[in-house]
Amino acid sequence: MRAVINKMSLKFESRSVNEAFARQAVGAFVAQLDPTMEELGDIKTIVSEAVTNAIVHGYADKTGFITVTVRLLEGRILEIKVKDTGRGIENVEQARQPMFTTGDDTRSGMGFTIMESFTDKLRVRSMPGKGTMVTMIKLLQERSA
């Protein structure tokens, strides 16, 4: 495992207004690696998707807490974990299929697909009744001096 350069963690209530807070906070923290605008956009998008999933699907009609942890690793590697203690996912493989959703008809079912396309590695661990942790790894481009 690569050495950790820096780390931060946020814990906030599963309210939809906090999705933008998480996205901006992670973006500001990651800025120290000087990502490209495209990379920063991708990072904000994956945080937004993971946090929104936790709010909409993990807690549905109740409020709980979401924890976002970001580690900056040697080699310009970014690790983002989004964890909830909500209802969990019955079938992770099915949930990762494009267009699958447990939400209402306003949901596209593309959250995991988007996260997977904007990261280098996506891992989803979940236990029904206990919650879900989404781990996303993104390798940032080397920047020339």
Q: What is the pLDDT of residues 30-73, one digit of tens each?
A: 999 999 999 999 999 999 999 999 998 899 889 999 999 999 99
| 107 included as an active-site residue | yes
| 15 included as an active-site residue | no
CB neighbour burial string for 73-98, b if at least 16 within 10 angstroms, e if fewer: beebbbbbbbbbbbbbbeeeeebbee
Task: Choose the catalytic residue: 71, 96, 107, 125.
Answer: 107
With respect to residue 129, please indicate whether it lies within any of the assigned structural domains: yes
Domain range for 74 is 4-139
What is the pTM assigned to this prediction? 0.88
Cβ neighbours of 15 (radius 10 Å):
12
With respect to residue 144, please indicate whether it lies within any of the assigned structural domains: no
Task: Choose the catalytic residue: 19, 39, 49, 79.
Answer: 49
| 91 included as an active-site residue | no
Looking at the structure of the chain, the number of domains it has is: 1
What's the chain's average pLDDT?
89
Task: Choose the catalytic residue: 19, 23, 53, 87.
Answer: 53
With respect to residue 145, please indicate whether it lies within any of the assigned structural domains: no
Looking at residue 79, its pLDDT comes to 98
CATH number of the domain to which 47 belongs: 3.30.565.10
Tell whether the model's pLDDT for residue 93 goes beyond 90. Answer: no
